[in-house]
Amino acid sequence: MFPEHRPRRLRRTETIRRMVRETHVRVDDLIYPLFVKEGSSIHEPIESMPGQFRHSPDRVAPLAKQISSLGIPAVLLFGIPGKKDASATSAHARDGVVQQAVRRIKDAAPDLAVITDVCLCEYTDHGHCGILDDAGQVSNDDTLEVLAKTALSHAKAGADIVAPSDMMDGRVGIIREELDENGFEQTAILSYAVKYASTFYGPFREAAGSAPSFGDRKGYQMDPANVREALREAAHDVEEGADMLMVKPALPYLDVIRLIADEFDEPLAAYQVSGEYAMIKAACERGWLNEDACILESVTSIRRAGADLIITYFAPRLAELLS
């Protein structure tokens, strides 16, 4: 009751605000996504994601070293292969683009944790995240086998953590089994447990050349309207052996992040996706918003909602802002 309650007292100076601040973003919380493209000497700008590039494995290694020296603990790798086919063969090739990149990065920056995205959409000629059956539907169980092989090939190349993003049922269990049977029981699984069929992936699909050539991903990714389903998805993945969980996208789904953080003890990552990045970039390029302030506020909000880790294309800038 006024005048007894004057909350403004604790907002009066930056020092006092700093003392009562409830949420902190640390460089340790950041994961930087990188696009690796088959070839050499490639450093190609991504049009819908200003400031982000496709790099060939030889170019990504020195960059990874730089990322590591900023204090960022991990990168998340996406591959853009030279060849695509119906069965995503290059996803699990020993010399596939991600496998090459992992080896190079581990050589150049051994302390950097390498996470690999495990999905087939970048490797199939039709752009879906799995193998199609005769009716043109993504066949869940046929896809599992290829995902398991892909995850194993990443682990063999030296990946610390594999991150299945395909949304097939049962993939965490199959991947865990495949890794364990082959002596990779120390390779962790970060599951894209709660991944929505979001329109905010648009720029990513341009970056990775992974847009489906027909239909959409609503038959495997989650309906944006659902939240109880998120609890079931996360529970299944934990049961199957996920070490960490993810909610994706981040900013439009803060309620989901909060729910999963409250219900599960596993470390929780949130993915500030390409469309979230592009929106901020576009508005700031026009001078309508302040970029650094947007970066800090959006990421702070994602942390406040309950995410432990944030996957963000702003990671390098954030590392500078936080230091």
Q: Which of 68, 191, 274, 312 binds ligand PBG (CB under 6 A)?
A: 274
* List 37, 84, 195, 281, catalytic entry: 195
Using the rule CB under 6 A, give the single segment among 14-22, 83-91, 114-122, 233-241 that binds ligand PBG.
114-122
Q: CA-CA distance, 167 to 169, in Å (whole number)? A: 6
Least Å from the CB of residue 44 to ligand PBG: 17
User: How many residues make contact with ligand PBG (CB under 6 A)?
Assistant: 10
- Is 248 marked active-site? yes
Q: Which of 53, 113, 205, 258 binds ligand PBG (CB under 6 A)?
A: 205
32 or 204, CB closer to ligand PBG?
204
Q: Which of 31, 67, 102, 119 binds ligand PBG (CB under 6 A)?
A: 119
33 or 306, CB closer to ligand PBG?
33
Q: CA-CA distance, 97 to 119, in Å (whole number)? A: 14
90 or 165, CB closer to ligand PBG?
165
Using rule CB under 6 A, residue 279 touches ligand PBG: no
Using rule CB under 6 A, residue 253 touches ligand PBG: no
165 or 187, CB closer to ligand PBG?
165
- Is 281 marked active-site? no
Using rule CB under 6 A, residue 201 touches ligand PBG: yes
Q: Tell which residue, 150, 130, 127, has the closest CA to residue 139.
A: 130
Using rule CB under 6 A, residue 312 touches ligand PBG: no
Using the rule CB under 6 A, give the single segment among 12-20, 115-123, 147-155, 298-306 that binds ligand PBG.
115-123
Using rule CB under 6 A, residue 165 touches ligand PBG: yes
| DSSP-derived pairing of the beta strands 188-195 and 309-312 | unpaired
201 or 253, CB closer to ligand PBG?
201
Q: Which of 35, 123, 196, 204 binds ligand PBG (CB under 6 A)?
A: 204
Using rule CB under 6 A, residue 121 touches ligand PBG: yes
104 or 217, CB closer to ligand PBG?
217
Using the rule CB under 6 A, give the single segment among 137-145, 197-205, 260-268, 287-295 that binds ligand PBG.
197-205
Q: Are 10 and 20 in contact (CB under 8 A)?
A: yes
Residues ≥6 apart with Cβ < 8 Å to 134? none
Residues in contact with ligand PBG by CB under 6 A are 117, 119, 121, 165, 201, 204-205, 217, 273-274
Annotated catalytic residues are 195, 248
